[in-house]
Amino acid sequence: MASSAGVQSSSFSSTESTQSRTMRQVLSVLVQNRPGVLAHVSGMFATRGYNIDSLAVGETENPLLSRITVVVRGNERHLEQVRKQLEKIVTVVKVQDISGADFVERDLALIKLKATPEDRLLIQSLVEIFRGRIVDVGRDALMIEISGQEKKVEAFIEAVRDYEIIELARTGRIALVRGGQTPEGVVVREKPAEEVHEPIIHGHSQL
């Protein structure tokens, strides 16, 4: 009996540990392309105290729909609440949790650096190593475009911190699952057709 109780206790502790462990989750949220959608989604996170690592939005192959890619951190219980709250928003069509899938993720940054003539060759070498591009050249500044996985972009930013960063802008992470269909490991929550209303205005600038 004592041994059985010990096994049950260990199992409970393991489940509790899993639920309390902080995880990084990538959600792909398909929404109707109409005014106020982004405000509703970001407002939901803000009012409930959910911390967003990254949020990116853009029009899809269907101009009536936009895709919001949200990266959040939290334990399993916390993240399940995030998914449920997103599903309650009227203009949300589909929520995909792609964290456990094989997906392609990209982040893009534009970085404006102060660059003296003496520094430009060294900066150009760094840009080439990270496979970035110099997209603008000024009298005393360079603008660099760098894209790739988040860790690559952040590594480049750290590499150029020795030079003065004048301005920096990032898109946030976007992601799509590899392959032609939704693979195993992707949790899809799609609303019934009767709950999806036809957008009256489209164009991602309306978000």
Q: Are residues 89 and 191 in the same domain?
A: yes
Q: Give 93's DSSP letter.
A: E
* Cα–Cα distance measured from residue 107 to residue 171, given in angstroms and rounded to the nearest whole number: 6
Q: State the average pLDDT over residues 146-171.
A: 94
Q: Residue 169: give its domain's CATH number.
A: 3.30.70.1150
* Cα–Cα distance measured from residue 95 to residue 67, given in angstroms and rounded to the nearest whole number: 10
Helix (H, G, I), strand (E, B) or coil at 75: coil
Q: Are residues 83 and 146 in the same domain?
A: no
* Per-residue pLDDT at 201 exceeds 50: no
CB-based contacts of 64, cutoff 8 Å, min separation 6: 32, 33, 198, 199, 202
Residue 141 is predicted with a pLDDT of: 95
Q: Are residues 137 and 199 in the same domain?
A: no
Q: Are residues 200 and 149 in the same domain?
A: no
Domain ranges, residue 118? 104-174
Residue 81 is predicted with a pLDDT of: 86
Q: Give 50's DSSP letter.
A: P
CB-based contacts of 186, cutoff 8 Å, min separation 6: 96, 97, 98, 100, 101, 177
Q: Residue 15: give its domain's CATH number.
A: 3.30.70.260
Mean pLDDT of the chain: 81
Residue 187: CB atoms within 10 A of its CB come to 14
Q: Are residues 65 and 9 in the same domain?
A: yes
Q: Are residues 64 and 126 in the same domain?
A: no
pTM over 0.75: no
The C-alpha R_g of the chain, in whole angstroms, comes to 22
Task: Note whether 134 and 124 are within 8 A (CB).
Answer: yes
Q: Are residues 35 and 136 in the same domain?
A: no
Residue 100 is predicted with a pLDDT of: 82
Residue 181 is predicted with a pLDDT of: 59
* Cα–Cα distance measured from residue 192 to residue 147, given in angstroms and rounded to the nearest whole number: 37
Q: Are residues 13 and 67 in the same domain?
A: yes
Tokens of 206: 């309306």
| Residue 29 burial (C-beta neighbours within 10 Å; 0-12, 13-18, 19+) | buried
- 41-85 per-position pLDDT tens digit: 888 888 877 878 889 999 999 989 999 999 988 888 888 888 888
Higher pLDDT, 174 or 100: 174
Least confident among 12-26, 28-42, 127-141, 173-187: 12-26
**Tally of domains in the chain:** 2
Q: Give 193's DSSP letter.
A: G
Among candidate residues 69, 87, 85, the one with its CA nearest the CA of residue 77? 85
Residue 2 is predicted with a pLDDT of: 46
Q: Are residues 163 and 183 in the same domain?
A: no
Residue 132 is predicted with a pLDDT of: 97
